[in-house]
Chain A
Amino acid sequence: MIPCAYFMNIFKVARSIWIGMGITLKYFLNHKKTLCTIQYPKEKDLIPARHRGIHYLETEKCVMCWKCSDICPVDCIYIEGVRGADGPLQGGYRGQKATLSKFTVDYTVCIFCGLCEEPCPPKCIWLGPEFDYHSTDRTMMEKNLLTDEVYTEGDEVFVEWARGENDRLQEEKKKQKEAEKAAKEAEKAAAAAAEAEEEGSDAEGESAE
């Protein structure tokens, strides 16, 4: 029965080739419908609603409570600024109760866990649909959430200035306070002295009598 197996083999091969080529031809002819590829940078696929991509911050809502940076398991959120919406810092970014000079996320570190979204009181930080964040340099992987741009050296200069300015303003405020305090104390002392003098003069007067 070997010849029978031999011819069956040939027949089976021919049949399977026939079927296989039918399938590929069908796909070839219907390639417009079966197409799975998209031209990625030019057109983008649908992103699921809860996709965790790069962060967005609604700066005007932020109260600068540091809760997001506290909960972050890898500590990649950096926040600097002054509490108080009309804080002493001129040119900073206005939050709800604070003025922010720095709010960055380092994407070489971030694990996109989305934990920072949870504790935020005004729900103003969230992970968006975009994911194609890239750079040719590690230092460029930090995103400035205040400007939605890469955190650059220019920003760093601003932050340095803001720190200095902040310190200076704080110092000034302190000095002013101290001066006020000193003035008050001096006033107090002067008042006390005047009182004492009055009393003294009274006593003098009394004694003179």
Chain B
Amino acid sequence: MNLFVFTNFFAQTGKDLKNLGDYAEAASTKWGLAEPGVYYEGGLFFAGLIKWLLSTTEVSSALPFAGTVNGLMTSLAADGSIFPELGGLLITIGVVFGFVNVFAIGAVWSERKVSAHMQCRLGPMEVGPHGLLQTVADGLKLLTKEDIIPRLADKPLFAIAPAVVFAGVLMRFVPLPFGDKLIASDLDLGLFFIAAVGAVEVLGVIMAGWASNNKWSLFATIRTATQMVSYEIPIGIAFVTVILCSGSFSLMEIVNQQGGSLLSADDGYTYQGWVWHWNLFRNPFMPILGIVYFIASLAECKRAPFDLPEAESELVSGFHTEYSGMRFALFFLAEYAAMYLVAAVAVVIFLGGWWSGIYPLDALGTGPDATIYTKTLGLLVKVGVFLSKAFALVFVQMWIRWTLPRIRLDQMMYVCWKVLLPISLLCFVGSCLWELVSGGASVFGFGIVVE
């Protein structure tokens, strides 16, 4: 699978990791990777672990090639140059990929529960307590299913299309933080990267529909491509407005600014951030833009009421009609990963990222007298706040899905071009004017000082 190629790409971007600082430092010092006091890269924690494993384990000499293997391991441990990349690779595979899988399993389960409860049903109840393991069982079933490729399909394209779709989603996780300092790579053009790489997913969908050699799939592909490309425009405008207001493309930077005023930078930071420092309340146009972004992001990740690409009942299931087994599961996984992704991006650009909006909670572990315990606690609180905001938005997505009926193609295009686009453009212009007039003040008059 070409997933591996993409993960290699992650490793490259992992080079300029500048996060996970203290923890990586402590860990890598412990495992003898580098001198203390240097600012470490995010992957060093794992890199240190690998080095430690390589230098301590020894293959029993009873086995063949034991000498060669041991020599190789020793020389690898001595030469430290590859470890940061290995660490980046591991962080990407272990954290992002693992998170996506676990999230998809949990989200499928909770989606079924949410839908069931909204329709006076029980949902899955049999496998595990309250059906918790139902998704795992379904995944196992999909794994054991026959992998069918239609005889007249374009085999190589058909085979790699799900991987392209999934990789398109997974790549967008690279500049996305999970909490303070927890990020695969803090790209300078993070938001731009997220918008741009979204196109890879469209490409994968087109590949899937075309390669299936099925007229329904092809029609569905056209539908999907139209939808995804159209709705990228309101999303792009929302991004541009946020970038314009905060003056940065980097997601870390955008979130940090929503933490409030940066009072003294000499001896540690003192944040005085409250809810009104979030971008959503920065000017009167931002709430509208937030709603526009949310609606457009529903269409972008093919969720109801915009789930025309895969209307199971009416439109022969869309571009993945011909897919079965694990390839189908990859499409599914990509969809749920995209759900989390758009929700997390909304949290980053509008809802203040990992800032809870309550100053004392946010200040935990940031002052000059912070110990390792308060720092850890602060980090955990921030991760929790970020994830719970994102999950709340995911819940809203499910809530909308089980409330609204699917809309027609022409209605979908109407909503995009005639409603969302003008409104978002208006909000963009309004935000520009607001920034000009107020000089970057928020609605409540608290200035946001950008270093």
Binding site for B on A (CB under 8 A): 6, 10, 17, 20-21, 23-25, 27-28, 31, 34-37, 39
Contact = CB atoms under 8 A, between A and B. Distances in A.
A10 B423 CA distance: 11
A28 B120 contact: no
Contact of B419 (A10, A17, A27, A37): A10
B120 A35 contact: yes
B402 A31 contact: no
A27 B404 contact: no
Contacts of B193: none
Contacts of A6: 418
B117 A31 contact: yes
A25 B117 contact: no
A24 B400 CA distance: 9
Interface size range of chain B in the complex:
10 to 19
Contacts of A28: 114, 117-118, 399
A36 B120 contact: yes
Contacts of A23: 403
Contacts of A27: 117-120
A35 B116 CA distance: 9
A37 B419 CA distance: 41
B322 to A, nearest CB: 34
> Top 3 nearest A-B pairs by Cβ distance?
A31-B117, A36-B120, A24-B403
Centre residue among A17, A28, A35, A39 by max chain B CB count within 10 A: A28
Contacts of A36: 120-121
Centre residue among A23, A24, A27, A35 by max chain B CB count within 10 A: A24
Nearest to A17: B404
Given A27-B118, A27-B119, A35-B120, 17 more contacts: A6-B418, A10-B419, A17-B403, A20-B403, A20-B404, A21-B399, A21-B403, A24-B118, A24-B402, A25-B399, A27-B117, A27-B120, A28-B117, A31-B116, A34-B120, A36-B121, A39-B122
B125 interface: yes
A209 B122 CA distance: 117
Interface in B403-426: 403-404, 418-419
A161 B213 CA distance: 66
Given A17-B404, A31-B117, A24 B122 contact: no
A37 B125 CA distance: 11
A37 B121 contact: yes
Contact of B122 (A17, A20, A25, A37): A37
A19 B122 CA distance: 24
Nearest to A29: B117
Given A37-B122, A39-B122, A39-B125, A21 B400 contact: yes
7 contacts: A20-B403, A27-B117, A27-B118, A31-B118, A31-B120, A35-B120, A35-B122
